[in-house]
Amino acid sequence: MICWVAERALATRNVTRAIVATDDQRIVDAVESAGFEAVLTSAQHQSGTDRIAEVAAAIAGAEIIVNLQGDEPLISPETIERAVAMMQAEITRESNRTDHGVGIVTTWEPIDSAADVVNPDVVKIVVDENENAVYFSRSPIPYPREAVRTHGGFEAALANEPGLLAKFRKHTGLYVYRREVLLAFSQWPQSELERTESLEQLRALERGVRIKAIQATASSIGVDTFADLQRVREIVSSSEFQVSSSKHLLRQLES
């Protein structure tokens, strides 16, 4: 699954290098045996972003760092490309801006299932009209107060007003960092909100980092449970799913 994520990263047109960061030698061996690059990091990190920062600090000249979660095997290369392009555009425009620049770009997807809205493993995100992230939570946000009062409960409100689903967005496991923001992040202590929700991106929000959140070009599934794994297996076994991108296949043919 991790190698699939690395393959998806390398299938993009604006990512030049993919490194698997892990504290487990077994993962390093598996990744390297499949022909991908891996780095063994400290086992003391409190979050995946801290682990990525350790690797990024050793890479000179990398202005933009992309953090892909290893449990997102179906992430679209086009989604990665779009997020990186957004950060590149923000950096280019920064000299003409008077406000604080974007420090992180992330992505979201629409939620089309009431079960996902109430599932704490599905992280919800609230975005303002300028595509800036306002908050992330494992709870259903924004809370449709009037609809809940009308129908006597949250689940009843979703069942009786299907249109409410359009108000919810699922946060996906992709972050594009400015190098300096990523390295600073790793030096900040965990915040109270981060510990409460077990969501590391809240550490950045509490420090005033501006996070741009754009819509993913295709849906993905974070594999957090065995049921998630089964869903992914069903998708990739279907005739409509293509495992390898044309770019990666071309590299295989040339090698």
Give mean pLDDT, residues 165-174: 93
More confident residue, 93 or 37: 37
**Residue-level pLDDT at 25:** 96
Tokens 């043919």 correspond to: 253
Nearest Cα neighbor of 210 from 116, 127, 141 is 127
**Residue-level pLDDT at 241:** 62
Model's pTM, two decimal places?
A: 0.86
On whether the CB atoms of residues 102 and 211 are closer than 8 A, the answer is yes
**Residue-level pLDDT at 239:** 57
- Could you give the CA distance from residue 26 to residue 40 in angstroms, rounded to a whole number? 10
**Residue-level pLDDT at 97:** 54
Give mean pLDDT, residues 98-124: 89
**Residue-level pLDDT at 232:** 87
Give mean pLDDT, residues 6-30: 94
Give mean pLDDT, residues 159-168: 94
The domain 2-254 belongs to what CATH superfamily? Spore Coat Polysaccharide Biosynthesis Protein SpsA; Chain A (3.90.550.10)
Confidence of residue 251 (pLDDT cuts 50, 70, 90): very low
More confident residue, 100 or 66: 66
pLDDT digits (tens, 9 = 90+) for 115-154: 999 999 899 999 999 999 999 999 999 999 999 999 999 9
pLDDT digits (tens, 9 = 90+) for 26-35: 999 999 999 9
Other beta carbons less than 10 A from residue 55's beta carbon? 17
The H or E element containing residue 150 is helix 145-151
Tokens 């089309």 correspond to: 112
pLDDT at 109 exceeding the cut of 70 = yes
Nearest Cα neighbor of 103 from 174, 193, 175 is 175
Nearest Cα neighbor of 207 from 225, 198, 194 is 194
pLDDT at 254 exceeding the cut of 80 = no
**Residue-level pLDDT at 249:** 36
Give mean pLDDT, residues 81-93: 91
What residue ranges do the domains of the chain occupy? 2-254
pLDDT at 2 exceeding the cut of 70 = yes
Q: Report the mean per-residue pLDDT for the chain.
A: 88
More confident residue, 56 or 235: 56
Give mean pLDDT, residues 21-47: 93
Q: Which amino acid is at 231?
A: R
